[in-house]
Amino acid sequence: MAQKLRKGDRVIVLAGKDKGKEGEILKVMPKENKAIVQGVNIAIRHQRQTPDSPGGRVPKEMPIDLSNLALVDPREGGPTRVGFRIEGGRKVRYAKKSGAVIDA
């Protein structure tokens, strides 16, 4: 099955403590049905000091469920659902809100 959300997509959070925040997908984990989004779902992790890096409390993005994310419409802005259609012999993703093609 084709993925609706991919690395590099701009998304908005629909539910949870970071509701309303926008960010770019850094990594998608389809088997766990989760994604890591830049600046969203931040947790503090303690890191041991090493010779080349200082120790301390390091903020880290944690995975968020794909069901809590929606693509930001490239034309109108705001959340939109993603659909698939054939254009010019290729399967492309499009925003259902505006009809704009996502894949260039």
- Report CA dihedral (87, 88, 90, 92) to the nearest 10 degrees: -30
Residue 45 has pLDDT above 60, yes or no: yes
Kindly state the average pLDDT of the residues 2-24. Answer: 92
Of the candidates 44, 35, 29, the one whose C-alpha atom is nearest the C-alpha of residue 16 is 35
Kindly state the average pLDDT of the residues 57-73. Answer: 94
Q: Which fold has domain 10-95?
A: SH3 type barrels. (2.30.30)
The per-residue pLDDT for 1 is 52
Task: Write down the domain spans for the chain.
Answer: 10-95
Q: For the whole model, what pTM was predicted? A: 0.84
The per-residue pLDDT for 104 is 55
**Which one-letter amino acid corresponds to residue 45?**
R
Element (H, E) at 86: strand 82-87
